[in-house]
Amino acid sequence: MKHLILLNDPPYGTERSFNGLRMAHALAKHDAEAEITVFLMADAALCAKAGQKTPDGFYNIERMLRRVLSAGGRVLICGTCMDARGLTEGEMMDGAERSTMDELAQATLSADKVLVF
């Protein structure tokens, strides 16, 4: 089954992106055939910033996104949202891809399930 997970909130300060990624991990765990795409929009574009350092015992969104990638999923970042926040592709973690609304539209049309956080 194809799952599209849209994240809108920043990596820290709220737990919506954290919970969306927890769902991505649970889907991958329970369905070995799952195709998971995480699309980062608005302040969630910051979730893919490389080099995040968090206190011991605190979740790290960059590591959580790496788990999605290592499970064969995709991480797409809204290019317009990156530009609005002054983010460059060089600042983003390896494996995350700059994307467009057209790609989001295609991912939405091909997904069996769309979840928005």
CATH number at residue 55: 3.40.1260.10
Digit-coded pLDDT (tens) for 51-97? 999 999 999 999 999 999 999 999 999 999 999 999 999 999 999 99
Burial of 75 (0-12, 13-18, 19+ CB in 10 A): buried
Distance CA 94, CA 116 (A): 24
Identity of the amino acid at 104: L
DSSP tag of 49: B
> CA-based diameter of the chain, in Å?
40
DSSP tag of 35: E
Provide the whole-model pTM: 0.96
The contacts of residue 113 (CB under 8 Å, 6+ apart) are 1, 2, 3, 4
Q: Measure CA 51 to chain center.
A: 16
Work out the average pLDDT over 19-23.
98
- Total number of residues shown for the chain: 117
Looking at residue 78, its pLDDT comes to 98
Give the three-state DSSP class for 115: strand
Q: Measure CA 19 to chain center.
A: 11
Looking at residue 64, its pLDDT comes to 98
Provide the domain limits for residue 69.
Answer: 2-116
Percent of the chain with pLDDT over 90: 99
2 DSSP β-pair partners: 35
Domain total for the chain? 1
